[in-house]
Each structure stands twice: as C-alpha cells, then as structure tokens.
C-alpha cells in the first residue's frame, strides 16, 4: 500500500483485485519499484518498504526457528516470504483480495520450501485464525485501512501468543490540525493505540530514510514517458503523493504481546 492510497476513501476488495491484476502485467512498474527500494527482482512488492526496512523489520520480530509468522494484508506476499526465507519461520499470509492471494501463493510455491507457506483470504479485523497462534505478526503499510485502526491492532493482539512480537509500518500525519490530509490517516496513532490494544514494550519511531527512498521512487514513477495502464494509474497516485509528501511521516512500530 502507499500513503496516497491509504488517504483516499476506503477501496473494496473488487478495487484491489483489479489493482493487483494490473500490477502483474506491468514490468516497468516492478522494475522501478525494485530499483528505487533496493529490492531483488524476485520480491514482488506492493508497498514502499525498502530492502533496509525488511532487515530492520526481520530483526525486530525476533522469530524462533520454525515459528509461525503472520503477514496480515500480505498483498502479493513478497515481504512475508522474504522474512520467512531469512528466519526459517513458517508463514501464513492473509489478504482480502483473492487476486493478491493467488499471486502470493504462486510466489510462495516458487521461493519457499513446500509446506512452509499458506495464503488465505481474510481481513485486517478478522483474519479467521485461532487465538494465540503466531510467534510474530507483520503488517506493512495497511493498518490504516481498518475501521478503525485500533480494531486491527486488537485483532493482532488476539492472534499473537504470549511473548509474540508485532511489527507495523505505516504513515502518520505530521500536524493533527492539517485538514488537507484525509481523515483515514488522522486516525492512525500507534503510540496511543498499541497500549490500548493490549501490547507492551511499545516503540514507535520515525524512519526518514525510508521516506527518502519513497520520494525517489515517486519521482522516478512520474518521470516515465511511455507507460502501460497500471503505470498511468500509478503516476497519478505518485503526483498526489508528492503534493502532500511533507505532511506525512513514515513510522515503524514494534510491540510485544504480554
């Protein structure tokens, strides 16, 4: 997900089905994304987490060997697959787009040993999994789609076993009084909501270096002259993102289930 997309009205699963379908036919888009974020071509990204960011997220999750990692709002699965590759964790990815889930299944079958990954349809606030099932849970740039975000954080707490680690990346507004930013991002306050959801050892930090990579990516996207339909849509998104770029900050939150 991206900050601009997160700031718009809530898209439904049908919207994202088409979004992921278009993405799969746009090699130009994937090449720009990989180059700007330092990602290997095998990693099919759907958000703006960089290679450096994946390393930081993996370290903070502290997954045990053969533990269970949940990737909620997994999209095409690339980030969760990479964390599972690095840690030896088993992976369950959840997304409400059936098209994204099918793409993630194909990637998981290609990049992880047989039986180590499962991808299923579910929601931020209702993953459809048992209580306390996970050793670690990641949600990359999607918590703002929950109504409200606190409901998703409570679901994450339900899914984690005692001692399980949470890693969330997203955006927050710089100035709470800035009415130019749509209300969806104004609802995101991880410092406030993670303790309310029942987490301890909460840490939330700005990551301006991730944000710089994001700006470079958008600048490269809007400069493309010949583009396919997916790229034209992405360019419109990029122009809007750059217009409000300095009004939003990139944040990375970690917490522990007691």
Closest to 130 in 3D by CA, of 101, 88, 111, 158: 158
Closest to 81 in 3D by CA, of 52, 99, 103, 96: 103
Kindly list the domain boundaries of the chain, sorted by start residue.
13-36+47-255
Beta strands (DSSP E) in the chain are 68-72, 90-95, 117-121, 134-140, 160-173, 200-206, 248-256
222-248 core/surface letters (b: 16 or more CB in 10 A; e: else)? eebeeeeebbebbbebbebbbebeebb
Percent share of the chain, pLDDT over 90: 74
> In CATH, what number does 13-36+47-255 get?
3.40.50.150
pLDDT tens digits along 163-193: 999 999 999 999 988 888 878 899 999 999 9
Supply φ then ψ for residue 239, to 5 degrees: -65, -40
Predicted TM-score (pTM) of this structure: 0.92
Supply φ then ψ for residue 35, to 5 degrees: -65, -45
Amino acid 6: pLDDT: 46
pLDDT tens digits along 15-46: 888 878 888 778 888 888 899 999 998 998 88
Whether residue 191 contacts residue 185, with contact meaning beta carbons closer than 8 Å, is answered with: no
């Amino acid at each position: 997900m991206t900050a601009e997309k997160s700031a718009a009205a809530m898209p439904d699963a049908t919207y994202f089905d088409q979004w992921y379908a278009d993405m799969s036919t746009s090699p130009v888009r994937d090449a720009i994304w990989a180059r700007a974020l330092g990602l290997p071509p095998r990693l099919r990204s759907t958000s703006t987490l960089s290679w450096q960011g994946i390393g930081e997220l993996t370290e903070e999750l502290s997954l045990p060997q053969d533990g269970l990692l949940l990737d909620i709002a997994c999209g095409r699965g690339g980030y969760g697959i990479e964390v599972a590759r690095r840690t030896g964790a088993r992976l369950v990815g959840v997304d409400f787009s059936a098209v994204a889930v099918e793409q993630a299944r194909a990637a998981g079958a290609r990049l992880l040993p047989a039986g180590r990954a499962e991808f299923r349809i579910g929601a931020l606030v209702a993953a459809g999994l048992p209580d306390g099932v996970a050793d670690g849970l990641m949600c990359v740039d999607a918590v703002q789609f929950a109504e409200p975000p606190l409901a998703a954080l409570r679901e994450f707490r339900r899914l984690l076993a005692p001692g399980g680690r949470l890693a969330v990346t997203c955006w927050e507004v710089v100035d709470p009084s800035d009415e130019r930013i749509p209300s969806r991002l104004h609802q995101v306050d991880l410092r406030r909501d993670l303790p309310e959801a029942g987490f301890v050892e909460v840490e939330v930090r700005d990551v301006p270096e991730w944000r710089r990579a994001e700006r470079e990516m958008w600048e490269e996207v809007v400069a493309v002259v010949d583009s396919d339909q997916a790229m034209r849509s992405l360019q419109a998104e990029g122009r809007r993102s750059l217009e409000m770029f300095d009004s939003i900050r990139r944040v990375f939150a970690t917490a522990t289930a007691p």
